[in-house]
């Protein structure tokens, strides 16, 4: 099952990404949660996993809110929050890089988060 999920993430990361960005960020949040479940929970990893889940799922939430904004100022504020959360997600994935068992999956998630940073930087 984990190999199936990893290949799905790799397909998403390598596809031409023609699907909706809201859907893409939602799928990413779900993959972050599923990835977090695979990491052994200890007193050290528990807060890191928690931070990863918060930042990884906030990307889509902020992007979704940006799409519902009534002003350009509010839109840009929410987009910048989404970019900030994507950067934070890259950071937490980098922290976990040395202890994660599934490096392929982690790298695919890290690449996807980095792509969100680039996408949201264009606004």
Which region, left, alpha or beta, applies to residue 17 given φ > 0 means left and ψ of -120 to 50 means alpha? left
Q: Are 123 and 76 in contact (CB under 8 A)?
A: yes
* Mean pLDDT, residues 52-58: 98
* Count of all residues that appear for the chain in the document: 123
pLDDT at 119 over 60: yes
Residue 100 pLDDT > 80: yes
Q: Does 18 score more than 80 pLDDT?
A: no
Does residue 105 carry a pLDDT above 80? yes
Q: Tell me the fold of 2-13+21-121.
A: de novo design (two linked rop proteins) (1.20.1440)
pTM: 0.83
Ranking 10-14, 100-104, 114-118 by mean pLDDT, the lowest is 10-14
Per-residue pLDDT, 101:
87
Nearest to 106 by CA among 23, 42, 49: 49
| pLDDT for 71 | 95
- How far apart (Å, rounded) are the C-alpha atoms in residues 82 and 55? 9
Question: Residue 3 pLDDT > 80, yes or no?
Answer: no
């Amino acid at each position: 099952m984990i190999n199936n999920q990893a290949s799905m993430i790799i397909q998403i990361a390598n596809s031409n990404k023609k699907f909706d960005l809201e859907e893409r960020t939602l799928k990413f949040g779900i993959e972050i949660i599923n990835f977090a479940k695979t990491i052994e929970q200890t007193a050290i990893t528990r807060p890191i996993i928690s931070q990863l889940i918060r930042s990884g799922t906030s990307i889509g939430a902020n992007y979704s809110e940006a799409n519902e904004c009534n002003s350009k100022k509010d839109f840009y504020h929410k987009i910048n929050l989404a970019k900030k959360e994507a950067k934070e997600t890259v950071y937490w994935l980098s922290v976990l890089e040395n202890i994660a068992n599934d490096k392929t999956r982690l790298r695919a998630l890290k690449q996807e988060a980095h792509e969100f940073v680039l996408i949201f930087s264009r606004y």
